[in-house]
Amino acid sequence: MDENTRNELLKLFEKKLTHAMRLYLETCSRCGICTEACHVYASMGGVNHIAAHRAEIVRRIYKRYFKGQGKALPWMGESKELDDKGLQELYDAAYSCTGCRRCVVYCPYGIDTQLIMSVAKLLLVGAGAEPDVLTMLADMSVAKGGSLDTFREGFLEGIRNLEKDVVEKWKSEAGETPIPVDKKGADLLYVALAGAHSIVPAAAVFNAAGENWTLSFFEAVNFGAFVGDPTKTKLIMDRIVNEAKRLEVKEVCICECGTAFRVMKQLSGRQPFQVSSLTEVHARYLREGRIRLDKSKIRGRVTYHDPCQIARNAGVIDEPRYILSHLTGDFLDMTEDARYNWCCGGGGGLVALGDETHDFRMKSARVKADQVRETGAAILATACENCHSQLGDLNERYEMGVEVRFLSSMVADALAA
Amino acid sequence: METVYYIILVPMVYAAFGIFVLGTAYKLVRTFRSPKHPSTLRIYPERKPRWLWALHDTFLLPTVRRHNPVHWVFLMAFHIAFLLVILGHIELFAEIPLLQVIPHQVFIGKGFVGLVLSVALLFFLFRRFHSPYRELSVPEDYYLLILLFLTVLFGSEMDWARRWYEYGGMMVGDYRDYLTSLVQLQPDIAFVSYGGHSFMLVLHVFFANLFLMVFPFSKIMHSFFSLAMNRLRR
């Protein structure tokens, strides 16, 4: 790595040095309490999978360039030069971490490994060493935001096709416009993922609840956040913020996608609309009596996987359980305390990387499979696209014998007349 | 030898104290004046009042208690003993009635505070010889523990000798006179530079000086940062 590149990367590093980041990088006592926190370590072992070790990969570079101790006595804290080998170590640390933040629950100081890994990801982006697939997907999302007109007609045509599905399955709930798009003055803007499974059941429930809603032109997923590029994260988020403002909606409802929800909820700042997850909205409809569910539609024990970015990291914990209490009389939680639910092993962009990470994802999430199996459940519900894909793969690999379902589609299927 | 004693007991003490105060102030200002993180770093479910739970996390170490109870016992014992040691040193400067609410002879703890500290430090040190803590540790971790252990050992030895072996050569009054002279900027080491224990005192002060000097530049800054970090999580 040449001097110029290193200096540019260190400038990027410095930009990440917020108050919180400095606290996290200055303080770890390497007590090792976080050892058992990471699902990767619990499933596969390996000191390099301990949260403190991951963080130390970044911290050693911090010590070398931003701390007096690292400059004067580099051996004391094992500070390290930022070089090509260092980049590889950053890659290995960042892309074996799903950013679930379970380790934050263990650490006596609450050191946030995901935040520290965001430095690693940004340095990789700066060096052009991040996974190409994630950057490509992020760029596509950004481009879509800049040229809405070019894909508008194709999108609308696709939606008209989906409307047939809504009408066919939920005749009474469909209404005149089963999937409204670009509706100014709607109360709620629903931001879905690409794919019927994210749009059709949600439309049925909105219509059943009599919601004044409209569907976003954009997909919710934020690949900028996965790849750790703050600029692209903001550009992708801003497309939705601007659409919500243009349509003057009161609420932006994010589909079952953990990262999309957390980014929009926690990074969009003060806006004239509130941000909710689809799970929160469904729970509200039930509480207000706007929808009713038929318990007889769901057969067998149900358990629920808390998506890390929605539950532990954004607080949507009671709502899915409230919904499930209306869906089944046989629900069993995986843990007494939702903070300790194991990560599915697919976050942080790992699922989006597909086959490249498949073997690692399967090996590193053995504890999740065990946790699901212990419940004896027939249905494993969740509220995140990533988690759903990963849990489906785990189901196959570990022969868990469950049906993996989106909570929203269970709600849609159980709508009572 | 007298010159070495003087250097350690006077200029090095001033230097250590200065580095500690200025270094800590610099670290605190640099950290807390950095831009605020743009989003919450909270872990859910929330518990309110947040500041009270942050205090709870900081001082009672509930996560350690849950995940490693043995380590928690040593950590709590160490930190409580360390607090008592600080109170004990404050009483070496002057008689403070408030600290004598429970009447006791200076140094507080009848010698057991130092013993607890020594045992806890050895536990922390030897724990790092085992995997996975060995692989997680860096030289700083060992050096700090050794430095603290030596500071505690030589400091405690003076206390133990007076308490347990009826040593009467150098007493609390002598330490108080020495420290008062330092505070009044009229350093006088005559009170503490005679008798067998002066050697112990010099070693204790030497290691304590080193400890104060490295404090702001080491992970021991967690003493100032821990509450702020736990507040972020809450």
Read out DSSP for A45-67? --GGGSHHHHHHHHHHHHHHHH-
Sole residue written with tokens 């800590």 = B24
Instruction: Taking residues A363-384, report their average pLDDT.
Output: 97
Rounded percentage of chain B residues whose pLDDT exceeds 70: 100
Q: Residue A21 and residue B37: Cβ atoms within 8 Å?
A: yes
**CB-CB neighbors (< 8 A) of A17 in chain B:** 34
Could you give the dihedral angle defined by the CA atoms of residues A54, A60, A62 and A63, in that order, rounded to the nearest 10 degrees? Answer: 140
Question: Backbone phi, then psi, for A339, in 5-degree steps?
Answer: -65, -25
Cα(B18)–Cα(B26) distance, integer angstroms: 12
Task: Find residue A252's DSSP bridge partners.
Answer: A189, A275
Could you give the dihedral angle defined by the CA atoms of residues B164, B170, B176 and B182, in that order, rounded to the nearest 10 degrees? Answer: -130
Amino acid A175: pLDDT: 64
Render pLDDT for A257-280 as a digit per residue (tens, 0 to 9).
Answer: 999 999 999 999 999 999 999 999
Sole residue written with tokens 């509200």 = A284
Render pLDDT for A310-355 as a digit per residue (tens, 0 to 9).
Answer: 999 999 999 999 999 999 999 999 998 989 999 999 999 999 999 9
Q: B89 to chain A nearest CA, in Å?
A: 26
Q: B67 to chain A nearest CA, in Å?
A: 7
**CB-CB neighbors (< 8 A) of A317 in chain B:** 44-45
Cα(B88)–Cα(B114) distance, integer angstroms: 11
Render pLDDT for B27-73 as a digit per residue (tens, 0 to 9).
Answer: 999 999 999 998 999 999 999 999 999 999 999 999 999 999 999 99
Instruction: Taking residues A150-176, report their average pLDDT.
Output: 77
Q: Which pLDDT band, with edges at 50, 70 and 90, does B193 fall under?
A: confident
Q: B26 to chain A nearest CA, in Å?
A: 12
Cα(A391)–Cα(B1) distance, integer angstroms: 72
CA distances from A68 to A7, A26, A45, A72 (A): 18, 12, 34, 6
Q: How far is CA B230 from the centre of its chain?
A: 21
For residue B223, give the DSSP letter: H
Sole residue written with tokens 């690999």 = A397
CA distances from A232 to A135, A236, B33 (A): 9, 6, 27
Amino acid B115: pLDDT: 96
**CB-CB neighbors (< 8 A) of A108 in chain B:** 57, 61, 63-64, 226
Output the six-digit token pair for A20: 């919180």
Render pLDDT for A74-131 as a digit per residue (tens, 0 to 9).
Answer: 999 999 999 999 999 999 999 999 999 999 999 999 999 999 999 999 999 999 999 9
For residue A331, give the DSSP letter: B
Q: B61 to chain A nearest CA, in Å?
A: 6
Query: What domains are defined for chain A?
Result: 3-130 (no CATH), 134-287 (no CATH), 295-413 (3.40.50)
> Is residue B171 pLDDT above 90, yes or no?
no
Mean pLDDT of chain A: 93
CB pairs under 8 A between A and B: 142
Instruction: Taking residues A29-42, report their average pLDDT.
Output: 97
**CB-CB neighbors (< 8 A) of A50 in chain B:** 132, 136
Cα(A87)–Cα(A413) distance, integer angstroms: 48
ipTM: 0.93
Q: Which residues contact B116 (CB under 8 A, 6 or more apart)?
A: B77, B78, B81
* Of A26, A76, A269, Cβ closest to residue B221: A26
Q: Which residues contact B224 (CB under 8 A, 6 or more apart)?
A: B24, B27, B28
> Is residue B2 pLDDT above 90, yes or no?
no
Q: Residue B138 and residue A77: Cβ atoms within 8 Å?
A: yes
CB atoms inside a 10 Å sphere around CB A401:
12
Residue B155 burial (C-beta neighbours within 10 Å; 0-12, 13-18, 19+)? buried
**CB-CB neighbors (< 8 A) of A338 in chain B:** 45
Q: B213 to chain A nearest CA, in Å?
A: 12
Sole residue written with tokens 């027939």 = A378
Cα(A218)–Cα(A376) distance, integer angstroms: 38
Detail the DSSP E strand segments found in A102-235: 188-191, 213-215
Rounded percentage of chain A residues whose pLDDT exceeds 70: 98
Classify domain B2-34+68-215 at the CATH topology level.
Fumarate Reductase Cytochrome B subunit (1.20.950)
Structure pTM?
0.93
| Single-letter amino acid, residue A16 | K
Cα(B169)–Cα(B162) distance, integer angstroms: 9
Instruction: Taking residues A54-76, report their average pLDDT.
Output: 94
Q: Which residues contact A214 (CB under 8 A, 6 or more apart)?
A: A180, A181, A182, A183, A186, A188, A189, A190, A247, A249
Sole residue written with tokens 């340095």 = A123
Rounded percentage of chain A residues whose pLDDT exceeds 90: 82
> Which residue intervals of B33-68 are DSSP H helices?
50-60, 62-67
Q: Are A38 and A51 in contact (CB under 8 A)?
A: yes
Question: Backbone phi, then psi, for A404, in 5-degree steps?
Answer: -90, 125
Output the six-digit token pair for A256: 């079952």
Which strand ranges, in their side-by-side order, compose the sheet holding A379-382?
A: A302-305, A379-382, A403-406
CA distances from B232 to A29, A185, A275 (A): 18, 37, 22
Integer-rounded Cα Rg, in Å, for chain A is: 22
For chain B, what percentages of helix, strand and coil (3-state, to nearest 5) are there?
Answer: 75, 0, 25
CA distances from A293 to A118, A208, A327, A403, B79 (A): 41, 11, 6, 20, 54
* Of A23, A28, A266, Cβ closest to residue B228: A23
**CB-CB neighbors (< 8 A) of A101 in chain B:** 43
Cα(A19)–Cα(B31) distance, integer angstroms: 6
Q: Are A245 and A269 in contact (CB under 8 A)?
A: no
> Is residue A174 pLDDT above 70, yes or no?
no
